C-alpha cells in the first residue's frame, strides 16, 4: 500500500527535535510520498534541505501563504519568482485567501493570489489553494482567471456540497484531511456524493490532527487514519483508497 500526504509542513519548528524520525516513520508505514507546501521566504531553506535529504519521498512547492501576506508582499513574491527560475517544484503553494485570522491585508492577499496564479500558468504548475472564511472570494478569482489547463487542489476543503461540485467541474481536487475523522464534520456526507478520483489526502501536519490523536501534534504517518475513515465512508478497502488517491496525486503533481 502506497499512501501520499499531499500537504505537510514538516520543516516547521514542531519537528526540530525528531524530523528525520518522523519522515522515516511515515515512509516505513507506507506513506511513501510527502508533498511540502512553502509558507514564506523564511521557510524555504528548511523545506529544501528536507527534500534533499529524502529526494525519493519529499517534494517541495513554492509560494507565499496568505496569512503571511503583509506590507512586504511584493518583495516576498519576487523571491517566489526567483526560486521558480532556479529549481524544480511540484506546485505553487500554498496560496489563497484567509479572512479568519486577519483582514488587514485583504487587498494584498487578493493581489498575491492572482499574481501566483499567473506564475502557476507561466510555469505550468498546479496550485494549492488555502481558503478560510473566503470560499466566495476564492471562487470569484478562480472564475475570473479560469483556463482549462489551470489545475489544483482546494486544500483542507471546507465548503458545501455545491462548492465541491463546482470545484470539481473546474478541474480542481478536494484536499481531505483530519477534519473528516471528527465526529461533527459534514465532510462525510459530501464525500458520499463525490467520486474518489477527485480526492487528495493530506495531513496539514503539524496541524489538524485526526482522531484518535486529536489535540496532539499531527504528522504524515497519520494519513493512514484519514484513508481508513474514507474507506469506511465509501465502503471500500483502505488499499483501494491508497491506490486511487496516490494516482490522483501523481496525475496532478507529476512526481
Ligand atoms: Ni498548510
Count how many Cα atoms sit within 13 Å of the Cα of residue 232 in the half-sphere of its side chain: 10
pLDDT one digit per residue (tens) for the chain, 255 residues: 999 999 999 999 999 999 999 999 999 999 999 999 999 999 999 999 999 999 999 999 999 999 999 999 999 999 999 999 999 999 999 999 999 988 999 999 999 999 999 999 999 999 999 999 999 999 999 999 999 999 999 999 999 999 999 999 999 999 999 999 999 999 999 999 999 999 999 999 999 999 999 999 999 999 999 999 999 999 999 999 999 999 999 999 999
Ligand 1: distance of its center to the CA of 204 in Å?
5
Ligand 1: distance of its center to the CA of 85 in Å?
23
Ligand 1: distance of its center to the CA of 37 in Å?
7
Q: What integer pLDDT is reported at residue 101 of this predicted model?
A: 82
Ligand 1: distance of its center to the CA of 176 in Å?
12
* Euclidean distance between CA atoms 167 and 3, whole angstroms: 23
Ligand 1: distance of its center to the CA of 8 in Å?
7
Ligand 1: distance of its center to the CA of 87 in Å?
21
Q: What integer pLDDT is reported at residue 166 of this predicted model?
A: 97
Ligand 1: distance of its center to the CA of 99 in Å?
15
Q: What integer pLDDT is reported at residue 228 of this predicted model?
A: 98
Ligand 1: distance of its center to the CA of 219 in Å?
12
Percent helix, strand and coil across the chain, each rounded to 5?
A: 50, 15, 35
Ligand 1: distance of its center to the CA of 205 in Å?
8
* Euclidean distance between CA atoms 255 and 58, whole angstroms: 10
0.85 surpassed by pTM? yes
Ligand 1: distance of its center to the CA of 155 in Å?
8
Ligand 1: distance of its center to the CA of 170 in Å?
22
Q: What integer pLDDT is reported at residue 102 of this predicted model?
A: 86
Ligand 1: distance of its center to the CA of 202 in Å?
9
* Euclidean distance between CA atoms 249 and 33, whole angstroms: 9
Ligand 1: distance of its center to the CA of 210 in Å?
15
Ligand 1: distance of its center to the CA of 249 in Å?
16
Taking residue 100's Cβ as centre, other Cβ atoms within 10 Å add up to 11
Q: Any idea which fold 3-253 has?
A: TIM Barrel (3.20.20)
Q: What integer pLDDT is reported at residue 24 of this predicted model?
A: 98
Which helix (H) or strand (E) is 48 found in, with range?
helix 44-53
Pairing mode of beta strands 58-60, 172-176: unpaired
Contact between 134 and 99 (Cβ < 8 Å): yes
Amino acid at each position: 500500500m502506497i499512501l501520499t500526504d499531499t500537504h505537510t509542513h514538516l520543516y516547521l519548528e514542531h519537528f526540530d527535535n525528531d524530523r528525520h524520525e518522523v519522515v522515516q516513520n511515515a515512509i516505513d508505514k507506507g506513506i511513501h510520498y510527502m508533498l511540502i507546501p512553502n509558507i514564506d521566504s523564511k521557510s524555504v531553506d528548511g523545506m529544501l534541505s528536507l527534500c534533499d535529504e529524502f529526494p525519493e519521498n519529499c517534494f517541495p512547492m513554492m509560494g507565499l501563504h496568505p496569512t503571511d501576506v503583509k506590507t512586504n508582499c511584493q518583495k516576498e513574491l519576487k523571491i517566489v519568482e526567483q526560486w521558480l527560475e532556479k529549481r524544480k517544484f511540484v506546485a505553487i503553494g500554498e496560496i489563497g485567501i484567509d479572512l479568519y485570522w486577519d483582514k488587514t491585508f485583504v487587498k494584498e492577499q487578493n493581489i498575491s493570489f492572482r499574481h501566483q496564479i499567473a506564475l502557476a500558468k507561466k510555469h505550468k504548475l498546479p496550485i494549492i489553494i488555502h481558503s478560510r472564511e473566503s470560499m466566495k472570494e476564492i471562487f470569484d478569482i478562480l472564475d475570473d482567471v479560469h483556463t482549462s489547463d489551470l489545475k489544483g487542489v482546494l486544500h483542507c476543503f471546507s465548503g458545501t456540497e455545491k462548492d465541491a461540485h463546482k470545484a470539481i467541474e473546474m478541474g480542481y481536487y478536494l484536499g481531505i484531511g483530519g477534519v473528516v475523522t471528527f465526529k461533527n464534520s459534514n465532510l462525510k456526507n459530501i464525500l458520499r456524493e463525490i467520486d474518489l478520483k477527485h480526492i487528495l489526502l493530506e495531513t496539514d501536519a503539524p496541524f489538524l490532527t485526526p482522531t484518535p490523536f486529536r489535540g496532539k501534534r499531527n504528522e504524515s504517518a497519520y494519513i493512514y487514519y484519514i484513508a481508513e475513515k474514507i474507506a469506511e465512508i465509501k465502503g471500500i478497502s483502505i488499499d483501494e483508497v491508497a491506490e486511487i488517491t496516490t494516482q490522483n496525486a501523481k496525475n496532478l503533481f507529476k512526481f
